[in-house]
Structure 1
Amino acid sequence: MASAKSSRSRVSAPSGLISSGIHQPSAQESGVPLADKLKIFKSDRFDPDSYVQSKCQTMNEKEIRHLCSYLQELKKASAEEMRRSVYANYAAFIRTSKEISDLEGELLSIRNLLSTQAALIHNLAEGVKVGSLSAGSEGSTANNTSNIEDQEPSDTEKWLVEFPDMLDVLLAERRVGEALDVLDEAESIATDAKENKKLSTSALMSLHTAITNHRLKLADQLAEAACQPSTHGVELRAAASALRRLGDGHRAHNLLLNAHNQRLQYNMQTIHPTSTSYGGAYTASLSQQVFSAIAQAVNDSLEVFGNESVYMSELVAWSIKQTEAFAQLVKRHALASSAAAGGLRAAAECVQIAVGHCSLLENRGLALSSVLMNLFKPSVEQALDANLKRIEESTAALAAADDWVLTYPPSGPRTNATSQPKLSSSAHRFNSMVQDFFEDVGPLLSMQLGGSTLNGLIRVFNSYVNLLINALPGSMEDEENSEGSGNKIVRMAETETQQLALLANASLLAEELLPRAAMKLSPIYHSSGVDDPRRKATDRQNRMPEQREWKRKLQRSVDKLRDSFCRQHALDLIFTEEGETHLSAEMYISMDANYEPDWFPTPIFQELYAKLSRMATIAADMFVGRERFATVLLMRLTETVILWLSEDQSFWEDIEQGPRTLGPLGLQQFYLDMQFVILFGQGRYLSRNVHQVIIDIIDRAMGAFSATGMDADSALPSDDWFIDIAQETISRISGKARVGNGERDAQSPTASVSALSMSSMRSHGSS
Structure 2
Amino acid sequence: MNEKEIRHLCSYLVDLKKASAEEMRRSVYANYPAFIRVSREISNLEGQLLSMRNLLSTQAALVHGLAEGVQKDSLSAGPEDSTAEEVLYENKELSKIENWLLEFLDTLEVLLAERRVDESLAALEEAESIAEEAKRRQTLSQTNLLLLQNAITEQRQKLAEQLEETICQPSTRGSVLRSAVLAMKRLGDGPRAHTLLLNSHYRKLQFNMQSLRPSNASYGAAYTVILSQLVFSTIAQAASDSLSLFGEDSAYASELVTWAVREAEAFGLLLKRHVLDSSAASGGFRVAAECVHACLAHCSLLEARGLALSPVLWRLFRPCVEQALNTNLKRIEQSSAALAAADDWSLAFPAAGMRLGSTTSLGSMNASQPKLSVSAQRFNLMVQEFIEDVEPLESLQLDGPALEGVLQVFSSYVNLLINALPSSMDDDENPEGFGKKIVRMAETEAQQIALLANASLLADELIPRAVMKLLQLQKTNRVEEPPRKSADRQSRLPEQRECKRRLQRSVDRLRDSFCRQHALEIIFTEDGDTSLSAHMYINMDVAADHEPEWFPSPIFQELFAKLSRMAGIATDMFVGRERFATVLLMRLTETVILWLSDDQTFWGEIEEGPKPLGPLGLQQLYLDMEFVILFTSQGRYLSRHLHQVIKNIISRAIDAVSATGLDPYSVLPEDDWFAEVAQIAIKMLNDKANFGNIDRDVTSPTASVSGKSISSVLSHGSN
The answer to whether the 8 A contact 2:468-2:496 is kept is no
Letter in 2 for 1:296: Q
Cα distance, 1:97–1:501 mapped onto 2, change above 3 Å: closer
Per the alignment, in what secondary structure is the counterpart of residue 549 of structure 2?
A: coil
Between the aligned partners of 1:176 and 1:660, the Cα distance in structure 2 is: 122
The answer on 1:107 being equivalent to 2:107 is no
The answer on 1:719 being equivalent to 2:671 is yes
Between the aligned partners of 1:542 and 1:87, the Cα distance in structure 2 is: 38
The answer on 1:197 being equivalent to 2:138 is yes
Question: Which residue is 1:40 aligned to?
Answer: none
The answer on 1:188 being equivalent to 2:153 is no
Cα distance, 1:762–1:441 mapped onto 2, change above 3 Å: closer
Q: Following TM superposition, by how much is the alpha carbon of 1:156 offset from its aligned partner in structure 2, in angstroms?
A: 6.1
Deviations 1:90-134 (A, max 9, x none): 765664455344324323432432443355456557767887998
From 93, 97, 116, give the equivalent of 1:153. Answer: 93
Letter in 1 for 2:658: S
Deviations 1:399-444 (A, max 9, x none): 1121111111112275316245211111111112222222222222
Mark the runs of 5 or more structure 2 residues left unpaired by the alignment. 1-22, 356-360, 696-706
From 61, 73, 78, give the equivalent of 1:139. Answer: 78
Question: Which residue is 2:389 aligned to?
Answer: 440
Cα distance, 1:114–1:757 mapped onto 2, change above 3 Å: farther
Question: Which residue is 1:258 aligned to?
Answer: 199
Between the aligned partners of 1:704 and 1:339, the Cα distance in structure 2 is: 68
Cα distance, 1:273–1:378 mapped onto 2, change above 3 Å: farther
Letter in 2 for 1:325: A
Q: Following TM superposition, by how much is the alpha carbon of 1:150 offset from its aligned partner in structure 2, in angstroms?
A: 2.7
From 610, 630, 637, give the equivalent of 1:659. Answer: 610
Q: Following TM superposition, by how much is the alpha carbon of 1:448 offset from its aligned partner in structure 2, in angstroms?
A: 1.4
The answer on 1:216 being equivalent to 2:134 is no
Instruction: Identify the range of structure 1 (413-422 vs 131-140) with the bigger mean alpha-carbon deviation.
Output: 131-140
The answer on 1:481 being equivalent to 2:431 is yes
1:108-127 alignment, distance < 5 Å: 108-117=47-56, 119-120=58-59, 124=63
Question: Which residue is 2:317 aligned to?
Answer: 376
Deviations 1:278-297 (A, max 9, x none): 61232233234323322332
The answer on 1:730 being equivalent to 2:670 is no
Deviations 1:241-264 (A, max 9, x none): 111111111111111111121122
From 590, 593, 604, give the equivalent of 1:642. Answer: 593
Deviations 1:544-603 (A, max 9, x none): 211221111111000000111111111111111111101111222222210243221111
The answer to whether the 8 A contact 2:35-2:254 is kept is no
The answer to whether the 8 A contact 2:394-2:473 is kept is no
Between the aligned partners of 2:228 and 2:543, the Cα distance in structure 1 is: 93
Higher RCO (C-alpha 8 Å, min separation 6): 2
The answer on 1:671 being equivalent to 2:612 is no
Between the aligned partners of 1:563 and 1:554, the Cα distance in structure 2 is: 14
Letter in 2 for 1:454: L
RMSD: 3.6
1:292-311 alignment, distance < 5 Å: 292-311=233-252
Cα distance, 1:621–1:740 mapped onto 2, change above 3 Å: farther
Between the aligned partners of 1:228 and 1:339, the Cα distance in structure 2 is: 39
From 169, 173, 178, give the equivalent of 2:119. Answer: 178
Cα distance, 1:542–1:424 mapped onto 2, change above 3 Å: closer
Instruction: Identify the range of structure 1 (339-348 vs 620-629) with the bigger mean alpha-carbon deviation.
Output: 339-348
From 631, 636, 642, give the equivalent of 2:582. Answer: 631
TM-score (norm 1): 0.79
Question: Which residue is 2:358 aligned to?
Answer: none
The answer to whether the 8 A contact 1:445-1:523 is kept is no
Q: Following TM superposition, by how much is the alpha carbon of 1:356 offset from its aligned partner in structure 2, in angstroms?
A: 4.0
The answer to whether the 8 A contact 2:65-2:143 is kept is no
Question: Which residue is 1:455 aligned to?
Answer: 404
The answer to whether the 8 A contact 1:400-1:491 is kept is yes
Instruction: Identify the range of structure 1 (703-712 vs 109-118) with the bigger mean alpha-carbon deviation.
Output: 109-118
Question: Which residue is 1:395 aligned to?
Answer: 336
The answer to whether the 8 A contact 2:671-2:713 is kept is no
Between the aligned partners of 2:63 and 2:195, the Cα distance in structure 1 is: 43
Between the aligned partners of 1:759 and 1:539, the Cα distance in structure 2 is: 47
The answer on 1:491 being equivalent to 2:440 is yes
Letter in 2 for 1:226: I
The answer to whether the 8 A contact 2:670-2:709 is kept is no
Per the alignment, in what secondary structure is the counterpart of residue 701 of structure 1?
A: helix
Per the alignment, in what secondary structure is the counterpart of residue 269 of structure 1?
A: helix
The answer on 1:698 being equivalent to 2:650 is yes
Q: Following TM superposition, by how much is the alpha carbon of 1:158 offset from its aligned partner in structure 2, in angstroms?
A: 5.0
The answer to whether the 8 A contact 2:606-2:656 is kept is yes
Per the alignment, in what secondary structure is the counterpart of residue 403 of structure 1?
A: coil
Instruction: Identify the range of structure 1 (594-603 vs 339-348) with the bigger mean alpha-carbon deviation.
Output: 339-348
The answer to whether the 8 A contact 2:97-2:144 is kept is no
Between the aligned partners of 1:702 and 1:390, the Cα distance in structure 2 is: 59
Letter in 1 for 2:556: F
Q: Following TM superposition, by how much is the alpha carbon of 1:217 offset from its aligned partner in structure 2, in angstroms?
A: 3.1
Between the aligned partners of 1:99 and 1:542, the Cα distance in structure 2 is: 57
1:330-409 alignment, distance < 5 Å: 330-361=271-302, 366-369=307-310, 371-409=312-350
Q: Following TM superposition, by how much is the alpha carbon of 1:231 offset from its aligned partner in structure 2, in angstroms?
A: 2.5
Between the aligned partners of 1:480 and 1:375, the Cα distance in structure 2 is: 39
The answer on 1:613 being equivalent to 2:564 is yes
The answer to whether the 8 A contact 1:93-1:309 is kept is no
Letter in 2 for 1:248: D
Instruction: Identify the range of structure 1 (122-131 vs 380-389) with the bigger mean alpha-carbon deviation.
Output: 122-131
Deviations 1:621-652 (A, max 9, x none): 11111111111111111111111111111111
Cα distance, 1:764–1:622 mapped onto 2, change above 3 Å: closer
TM-score (norm 2): 0.84
Between the aligned partners of 1:259 and 1:516, the Cα distance in structure 2 is: 52
Question: Which residue is 2:7 aligned to?
Answer: none
Deviations 1:213-270 (A, max 9, x none): 3323322232233222333322222221111111111111111111121122122222
Cα distance, 1:372–1:200 mapped onto 2, change above 3 Å: same
Between the aligned partners of 1:359 and 1:446, the Cα distance in structure 2 is: 10
Letter in 2 for 1:109: Q
The answer to whether the 8 A contact 1:122-1:202 is kept is yes
Between the aligned partners of 2:399 and 2:306, the Cα distance in structure 1 is: 29
Between the aligned partners of 2:274 and 2:142, the Cα distance in structure 1 is: 67
The answer to whether the 8 A contact 1:409-1:423 is kept is yes
Cα distance, 1:539–1:307 mapped onto 2, change above 3 Å: farther
Query: Identity rate of aligned residues, in percent?
Result: 58
The answer to whether the 8 A contact 1:119-1:201 is kept is no
Q: Following TM superposition, by how much is the alpha carbon of 1:742 offset from its aligned partner in structure 2, in angstroms?
A: 9.9
The answer to whether the 8 A contact 1:405-1:501 is kept is yes
1:500-579 alignment, distance < 5 Å: 500-521=449-470, 534=483, 540=489, 544-579=493-528
Cα distance, 1:318–1:401 mapped onto 2, change above 3 Å: same
Between the aligned partners of 1:450 and 1:677, the Cα distance in structure 2 is: 48
Deviations 1:645-670 (A, max 9, x none): 11111111112223222222222222
Question: Which residue is 1:26 aligned to?
Answer: none
The answer on 1:248 being equivalent to 2:198 is no
The answer to whether the 8 A contact 1:523-1:539 is kept is no
Cα distance, 1:338–1:360 mapped onto 2, change above 3 Å: same
Between the aligned partners of 1:455 and 1:497, the Cα distance in structure 2 is: 32
Per the alignment, in what secondary structure is the counterpart of residue 82 of structure 2?
A: helix
Letter in 2 for 1:416: L
Between the aligned partners of 2:507 and 2:607, the Cα distance in structure 1 is: 39
Mark the runs of 5 or more structure 1 residues left unpaired by the alignment. 1-83, 744-754
